[in-house]
Amino acid sequence: MTKNVVVLDYGFGNVRSAERAVARAGAEVEITRDFDKAMNADGLIVPGVGAFSACMEGLRAARGDWIVGRRLAGGRPVLGICVGMQILFERGIEHGVETEGLDEWPGTVGPLTAPTVPHMGWNTVEAPADSLLFAGLDAGERYYFVHSYAVHDWTLEVTNPKIRAPRVTWSWHGEPFVAAVENGALWATQFHPEKSGDAGARLLSNWIGTF
């Protein structure tokens, strides 16, 4: 049975690129900000480009914060991409301005410290051995990044032995940063799978295969 994926259109994201990549991965896909369609889709993608604060403003205007929260409360899959990943954290700080995120994960999005910023182009990642997102992909595979801000520390601790700890993938550009997270129904990537060629298509297929 073909899965249905909605790419949330809240004004901040490469929605057409995401649409094409998801279709290539084998799912039916629709770009919309319709509340009911976003709530009822098998999977929801939250893209994001630009400033953290502007993305949060646009997301709230489209009731995206409600959509993400309600889907996760019901165990419904959500995938955040680029700034769509960053806004899942507690807060973002850009040019000294602090903005509240969705607070699905603790942590702060801050500037990258590197010789060259933005971090733009292809880079490798270090994924956990049991990653589902990177299943079937070579360790030296490269993914496409475009960002000047990132999460530098993973602070969420899981003390209940019955709950699986999130799988956190790292990359490096001047310093280590979180490149992807798999946490129950909530997955996210700092890089752009929709711009990462065959590897990105496999990632999206892996995600779609979980629901």
Query: Which of 82, 104, 119, 141 is an active site residue?
Result: 82
The backbone torsions φ and ψ at residue 75, rounded to the nearest 5 degrees and listed phi first, read: 70, 30
Element of type H or E holding 57: helix 52-61
Q: Pairing mode, if any, of strands 97-100 and 89-94?
A: antiparallel
Note the Cα 144 to chain centre separation in Å: 13
The candidate with the shortest Cα–Cα distance to 206, out of 13, 47, 68, 26, is: 26
Pick the catalytic residue from 119, 147, 173, 192. Answer: 192
d(CA 167, CA 187): 9
Q: Is 194 a catalytic residue?
A: yes
Residue 55 is a catalytic residue:
no
Q: How far apart are CA 184 and CA 176, in angstroms?
A: 24
> Residue 201 in 3-state DSSP?
helix
Q: Which residue in 19, 104, 141, 194 is the catalytic one?
A: 194
List residues with catalytic annotation: 82, 192, 194
